[in-house]
Structure 1
Amino acid sequence: MEMEVQGMDQGFEEVAEIGPSNESFQEGEESPRSKTSLRMHYEAQVAVIRRQTGDLESVRLGLGLSQRKMAQLLMVDPSAWTRWVKQGDEAPPHIWRALQWFSALQEKIPGLTPHYFINQSPQVLHQKALQELDQERSERQQEHRNLQEKLDLISADRAELQNSLQQEIFKLKKDLNFHKKMSIVILSLSIVWAAVLMVWKFA
């Protein structure tokens, strides 16, 4: 068992400092030597989550909750939170996972607050969250319409510019053909006039 523990420790060097080694997440465990590889895996995941979210008190202050409200959010006795904090954030792995999930939910659902879960009338907060989602969706749709209008204007301006260029090219071709024909006429007249002068000279 000690060799197994050493092997797992080498695998989790980057996620060290998971709390005092003489405390267990669940009651009834005899000693740290009785930890299984699965248990050590959970502790390593807890260490990673702690590095992402901060310690328990930092999470609580970030949510703006009292210790009692925080315990109510996690559905635990208020004394449990106090004990975990005093013991160096030795909360059970599922508590850390719940905090991670709640943080992910807040990023995905605008307007979601801890009071949605701990308020006695969550229906009101649920409706408010839905309204905020609808408002954000409406704003996104309006932005999409505005962008589409700008694209349409750009396309119209581009078509108008292309049409104008085509007209200019047509006009230039027309002028070029005219000048070409005039050059031929002038050259022909010059030849005829030269012939007339020659006849007059030798007449």
Structure 2
Amino acid sequence: MDVDPLTEGLRPTRRIAAYDAPGGRPLAFLDPTIRGVELTLPVAQRRTGWVAVLLPSANRRLAWLPAGGWTTTDLRDQIVVERRAHRLTWYRDGVARRSWPVSLGRRGQETPLGRTFVLGRTTPTGAVYGGVDIYALGSIPDDLDAVPASLRGAHIGIHSWHHDGELGRSTTNGCVRLTRSAQRLLLAEVPPGSPVVVVDAIR
């Protein structure tokens, strides 16, 4: 639940193994791209010879990578979502730039708490998204059986909607909905790899 920004991203340059601890057991393999999108993972910790990154498709999970097979890049942006206030705030270099009301996950399908990151963007196929691209996050629903069958296997997203009548309420299947103008601004300014933190409230 720490909202201190993560300011370094890691980009695999080849397929690399990710471990559950330094020198531990392998969890997964990470490729330079996922479905054609360059993968950038926020760095959360460092130990001698190892770095810990946020793992995609696994909520609140770190993976440890040994040295080699990756480069780093600066991360300037962070998105913080407050569930009680139904508010999303975009930060750059630790300074709040803009803030908007949002719709969040309904009871039983709550927007997952904790750190994640912008995995990439995708163009929606349905008119309900208001014709604006979606940010896919590294997080997935906490209860995979609670979401509709048509959404199983999908990541949590940040996206707009065809109307703004539900802003400030808990009405989604776990995604974060905001206005079309706000989503367009985020798409223009916040690159993939940028960290996202979902908290009940900022302490």
TM norm structure 2? 0.22
TM norm structure 1? 0.22
Query: Is the helix fraction higher in 1 or 2?
Result: 1
Query: Is the strand fraction higher in 1 or 2?
Result: 2
